[in-house]
């Protein structure tokens, strides 16, 4: 399946698909919040190491990092402890006045995560090619075919949702739905890779980082995604 992102989001989408989350997140920061840390609804942030260490302000809002109290770096979870990412807590969360630009971040992040999902599908197909079970090629097994077809359908659905959301970021509920559908789809597809999907250097690492980004940046209350 070829998923073509709108021109603005081509780089983070395609980079995530080919080169992984860290490089794609750098592209997204460059496009949306250069020189800043993007704070999620709970005041957390996740940034490429080089971006986070050089950041001077919090985005959105532009609050200077210097002088903020309660801001601290936190260790990355064990499965991705080797990632060159900086995790931070204690930042001022986006307020209602800054939610409009934050929706643009959520949109770009969804395209990045769609690229991760597309890369996972690429890996699954490559892994299954030529592999056989006792009753024939794995790709011909009904359950495997159904899982791959569902992943394709999910990714096409998310692509349609995100395309409809351009260029004005669309309703918040649509963006939240797209993110949740990607998470669900990744969970369903990853077992097709068997043990390979869960090794430290396997595709499960990118999926884990994708889900971590969703945890950091999706609205805390999914029923009312706009902050109070």
pTM of the model: 0.89
In angstroms, what CA-CA distances link 203 with 64, 140, 141?
37, 22, 22
User: Of 49-53, 96-100, 110-114, 195-199, which range is least confident?
Assistant: 195-199
By DSSP bridging, strand 132-133 and strand 136-137 are antiparallel
- pLDDT the model gives residue 171: 55
Q: Taking 90 as the threshold, does the pLDDT of residue 211 lie above it?
A: yes
Q: Where are the domains of the chain?
A: 21-96, 98-217
* pLDDT tens digits, 20-41: 999 999 999 999 999 999 999 9
As its CATH architecture, domain 98-217 has Up-down Bundle (1.20)
Helical pair 99-128 and 203-217, crossing angle rounded to 10 deg: 160
Cβ neighbours of 100 (radius 10 Å): 12
- pLDDT the model gives residue 79: 87
Q: What is the mean pLDDT of residues 188-209?
A: 84
The model's confidence at residue 65, banded by pLDDT at 50, 70 and 90, is very high
Quote the mean pLDDT of the chain: 87
């Amino acid at each position: 399946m070829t998923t073509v992102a709108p021109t603005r989001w081509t780089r983070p989408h395609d980079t995530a698909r080919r080169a992984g989350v860290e490089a794609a997140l750098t592209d997204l920061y460059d496009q949306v919040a250069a020189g800043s840390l993007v704070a999620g609804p709970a005041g957390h942030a996740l940034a490429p190491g080089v971006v986070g260490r050089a950041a001077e302000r919090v985005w959105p809002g532009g609050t200077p990092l210097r002088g903020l109290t309660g801001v601290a770096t936190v260790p990355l979870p064990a499965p991705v402890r080797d990632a060159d990412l900086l995790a931070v807590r204690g930042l001022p969360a986006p307020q209602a006045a800054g939610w409009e630009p934050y929706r643009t971040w959520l949109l770009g992040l969804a395209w990045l995560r769609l690229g991760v999902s597309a890369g996972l599908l690429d890996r699954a197909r490559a892994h299954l090619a030529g592999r056989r079970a006792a009753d024939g090629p794995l790709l011909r097994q009904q359950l495997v075919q159904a899982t791959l077809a569902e992943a394709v359908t999910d990714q096409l659905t998310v692509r349609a949702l995100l395309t409809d959301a351009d260029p004005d970021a669309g309703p918040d509920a649509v963006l939240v739905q797209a993110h949740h559908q990607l998470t669900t789809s990744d969970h369903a597809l990853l077992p097709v890779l068997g043990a390979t999907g869960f090794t430290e250097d396997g595709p499960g690492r990118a999926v884990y980082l994708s889900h971590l980004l969703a945890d950091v940046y999706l609205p805390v209350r999914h029923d009312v995604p706009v902050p109070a």
